[in-house]
Amino acid sequence: MTDRYAALDPLQERRQAGTRPSDETILLASRFQNLERLTLTTRDAVCTESLIERALSHRIDKDPDRLVQELTKFLERIAPAGSLTETVEWLVLIARRIPVRI
């Protein structure tokens, strides 16, 4: 299911094809060469209804009813109690401009 929706995203297609330069490559070729990376990992219980609402809010399918049916079927299989643990890893890339020396 994920592959089908990802195929509709042109940026995802470029990422998978390797034709899009990484953010780091772009920044290192600019004046913003001082890079810092931060990572934050969170874990929380989430109900399946909120996951479905989240997917609908992104409008990834022209047929939202089909999306709800597919997600409901999938989530009932992996989270029969109606909730699961969501682990999110946030990656932050901070780029600072290198000072110009005169």
Residue 100 confidence (pLDDT): 79
Model pLDDT for residues 62-81, shown as the tens digit of each residue = 788 888 999 999 999 999 99
- Pick from 23, 31, 26, 28: nearest CA to 92: 23
Question: What's the Cα-to-Cα distance from 18 to each of 22, 23, 56, 100, rounded to whole Å?
Answer: 9, 13, 29, 33
Residue 80 confidence (pLDDT): 95
pTM greater than the 0.85 cutoff: no
Cβ-Cβ contacts under 8 Å for 85 (sequence gap 6 or more): 43, 44, 45, 46
Average pLDDT score over residue span 53-66? 82
Burial of 44: CB neighbours in 10 Å, binned 0-12, 13-18, 19+: exposed
Distance CA 10, CA 6 (A): 8
Residue 64 confidence (pLDDT): 84
Model pLDDT for residues 7-47, shown as the tens digit of each residue = 666 666 666 777 778 899 999 999 999 999 999 999 999 99
Give helix 48-57 / helix 64-78 axis angle, nearest 10°: 150
Amino acid identity, position 43 = R
- Say whether pLDDT at 3 is over 90: no
